[in-house]
Amino acid sequence: MKKRVIFTLILVGLFGVAQAQKGDKSIEAGPLISFPIGSDGFPSILKTGGGLEAIGQYNFSNRSALLLKIALTSWGYKERTIGYGPRRLTFLSLQGGYKYQFGTSGFFINGLAGTDIDLGDRFSTISFTLGAGKRFTVKDDRFIDVGVDLAGGDAEGRVNFKVIFSLIQWLKGK
């Protein structure tokens, strides 16, 4: 455990911190690992899944931003009756929300709401996401967001761990 803490501190120290600027816009994307959590005291019937997430961000102040998120996540079932039911559950999530960054530390929290669309059965459910993370600056116009999300709503809840890379960033005044 001590080695993990030291490694994390070294990793955090290797990167600078991104300070959001009013009017900056960005598009970012990256992989996520999703751990389903059971509901009503029952364990999940889904295996650990994975997916991709893309986020559009518009900073309307130095600490606040509007977010648009699209994610594609898929899980296998732990057990299924032979010949019945799908082999995988795949959601296309569309959400909008808000992000708050705590000063120059790079730490942030976000909240999003929207819909999860099951691509197998074509049904949709209401969804929400609460998240937290840290932004690391790689270059002036490049960054990496590392975070964890708790996603819930009408579908089974899940905890997502993700690494999001900046793809395009429009900096105000540059």
Q: What is the pLDDT of residues 3-27, one digit of tens each?
A: 554 444 444 444 444 455 677 899 9
Task: Over range 82-102, report the average pLDDT.
Answer: 85
What is the model's pLDDT at position 27? 95
The dihedral sign for the CA sequence 21, 27, 32, 38:
positive
- Is residue 4 in a domain? no
pTM above 0.75, yes or no: yes
- Is residue 11 in a domain? no
- Is residue 6 in a domain? no
Residues 141 and 155: their CA atoms lie apart, in Å, by 37
Quick one: what percent of the chain has pLDDT higher than 90? 56
What is the model's pLDDT at position 160? 97
List pLDDT tens digits, range 43-91. Answer: 778 899 999 999 999 999 889 999 999 999 999 888 765 556 667 889 9
- Is residue 112 in a domain? yes
* CATH number of the structural domain spanning residue 103: 2.40.160.20
Write out the residue range of the structural domain in which residue 127 sits: 17-170
- Diameter of the chain measured on Cα atoms: 60
Cβ–Cβ < 8 Å for 158, 131: no
What is the model's pLDDT at position 36? 94
- Is residue 91 in a domain? yes
